[in-house]
A and B are shown apart, each in its own frame.
Chain A
Amino acid sequence: MAERYTSFEPGGRRWLWQRLTAAFLVIVLAFHFFLLHFLNHADEVTFALSQARMQQLTYFSLMILFLITATFHGVNGVYNALVNSGLSGSRKTAVKAILGVGSLLVIIQGVRTALAWSGGVPI
């Protein structure tokens, strides 16, 4: 048996979460593309149409979950790719901090945008 060619820690949870978010994203990303390019056409997008969708709690909560899982999956994937390429030591810590802050910013900005459409959490 050769070495384990992986950047995931043996017994760690990052591998599991990468796969769980992947299973969710496969469905939701396909739905997102289908809804916004085939059922609705990109050139017909208006604030009012986005607002009408975001004012439904089901759609709003699905998009927030989509934002969080996509950000985690993407950033965790980048981090693991870099670790896989030999990133270590203080550079690894710095990259982890930058990616963590970047993720937080994109999630905050995404939630603010969703709230701008919905005018508040649509409960």
Chain B
Amino acid sequence: MSQSYNRGLIEDFSRWREFSAGMWAWIFHKFTGWVLVGYLFTHIAVLSTALSGAAAYTNTIQALESLLVVRILEVGLLAVAVFHILNGVRLLFVDLGVGLEAQDKSFYASLILTGVIVVASIPTFLSGVSI
């Protein structure tokens, strides 16, 4: 049977200064997970304009992609997805018993690599948009 456990003040965010790397990884993974599942539903809703015909779909996507704010949100989505993927790989390894002693370092590596990939992707994500 599923149970929830009384973890005392672990989830008291006013104690954030005391959080360890693993706690931040847990918070970021949960936050990025919520964003991604929310986006999945939005994504399918937008793509569903294809059900109204070819012109409706093409016009909707191109109108959205012409907006700078949409491109910026896409960069944010990339950041969220890349971190969730990299930290997810870290979790899969930890689950297999690999790298548990270095789990804090692998969290920092996930953050840095996410930052590098996102910054390097910005020109591609903003190409062709008018400000």
Contact = CB atoms under 8 A, between A and B. Distances in A.
Interface in A93-123: 102, 106, 109-110, 112-113, 116-117
B4 interface: yes
A54 to B, nearest CB: 9
A7 B4 contact: yes
Interface string B59-98: 0011001100001001000100100010011011001000
Interface residues of A, number: 48
Contacts, number: 109
A41 B128 contact: yes
A12 B1 CA distance: 9
B14 interface: no
Contact of B33 (A77, A109, A117): A77
Nearest to A92: B2
Contacts of A75: 37
A23 B92 contact: yes
A105 to B, nearest CB: 9
B50 A116 contact: yes
Interface of A: 3-5, 7-9, 12, 19, 22-23, 25-26, 29-30, 33, 37-38, 41-43, 45-48, 50-51, 67, 70-71, 74-75, 77-78, 81, 83-88, 102, 106, 109-110, 112-113, 116-117
The 10 closest A-B pairs by CB, nearest first: A74-B37, A47-B54, A43-B65, A86-B4, A45-B61, A43-B128, A47-B57, A116-B50, A46-B58, A47-B58
